[in-house]
Amino acid sequence: MRHCDCLLTDMSDSDSLPVMMHERERWQLILTRLRDRGIVRVADLVGVTGASVATLRRDLAKLEDAGQLRRVHGGAESVASGQTPLTAPSFDASQTLNVDLKQAVARGAANLCQDGDSIILNAGSTTWFMAQCLRQHRMQVLTNSFPIAQELIAHSANRVVLPGGELYREAGIILSPFDEDAIQHFAASKMFMSCYSITPLGLIESDPLVARAEAKLLNRTEKLIVVVDSTKFEPQGNMVVCPLARVTTLVTDTGAPQQMVDHLRQQGVEVILIDPKEAKVLTAA
């Protein structure tokens, strides 16, 4: 393994340093290069990371599953062919770890949609995965997420409605401090949202502006469907968006703590558990 590296570069082979890169380091490096150049080649990555082509191919496969890039012959390209870094929400390392969970939950939530529905898709990485599952649907979708709007417009026949406001570059969210808004004329049958964390006190966000935007959207619908992977049950953040009783349905994975599941059902929330292995609905009772 490392011996190969040593043979290739005699001068740097002093084993005093741990030469081998870790998986996450490689991923980070790959994504960085991808953002800078729009395209990466496996052969290049071999030289940069010191890993074998097989490993790098696996890395690319995983990152493609995570929606972070698109594989092409010889390497991979940025999901938007190098045009915009906005096609996917900015993931941090911890989010990258839960891609499988998020995708499983997103698929489960997408099953709750039907053609003709008018839905709201709140900004978030899980809801972005959900948008990818809606390519065959024909609905009216209101979203405050620029990347979700891009995805829907480019790859589906759904109608897309946007709220007015400033477009925040990093998060890709459209936020407005004003109440007058086109969304006041939107009536949705369902709203899908994620959140920063979920506690007995309710749905929690960390950013006041985001919390306010979500509260505004909540007024446009009766049914609120929360989509969160099981890691969101770790209390974080401090802005309460709404109490748990406001939630109609919660979609999460089987890793959710049983205590919270019970508590939610006591509050009248329908809880849907998705097994990320089998990617199918286990129970809804």
Partner DNA sequence: CGCGAAACGATCACAGTCAATCACGAAACG
Partner DNA sequence: CGTTTCGTGATTGACTGTGATCGTTTCGCG
Choice between 18 and 177, CB closer to DNA = 18
Interatomic CA distance for residues 58 and 218, integer angstroms: 41
Residue 1 makes contact with DNA by CB under 7 A: yes
Residue 63 makes contact with DNA by CB under 7 A: no
Instruction: Give the interface segment with DNA, choosing from 71-79, 102-110, 223-231, 240-248 (CB under 7 A).
Output: 71-79
Residues in 22-41 at the binding interface with DNA, rule: CB under 7 A = 22-23, 26, 41
Residue 75 makes contact with DNA by CB under 7 A: yes
Interatomic CA distance for residues 8 and 19, integer angstroms: 13
Residue 6 makes contact with DNA by CB under 7 A: no
Q: Which residues contact 76 (CB under 8 A, 6 or more apart)?
A: 30, 34, 39, 40, 60, 63, 64, 69, 70
Residue 50 makes contact with DNA by CB under 7 A: yes
- Give phi and psi for 67, each to the nearest 5: 75, 15
CB 274 within 8 A of CB 251: yes
Residue 138 makes contact with a copy of itself by CB under 8 A: no
Strands 70-72 and 75-77: antiparallel
Q: Which does 54 bind (CB under 5 to 8 A by kind): a copy of itself, DNA, none?
A: DNA
What minimum distance in Å lies between the beta carbon of 16 and a copy of itself? 11
The size of the interface with a copy of itself (CB under 8 A), counted in residues, is 64
Interatomic CA distance for residues 283 and 268, integer angstroms: 16
Strands 70-72 and 140-143: unpaired
Query: Which x/- pattern, by CB under 8 A, does the window 75-104 give for a copy of itself?
Result: x-x---xxxxxxx-----------------
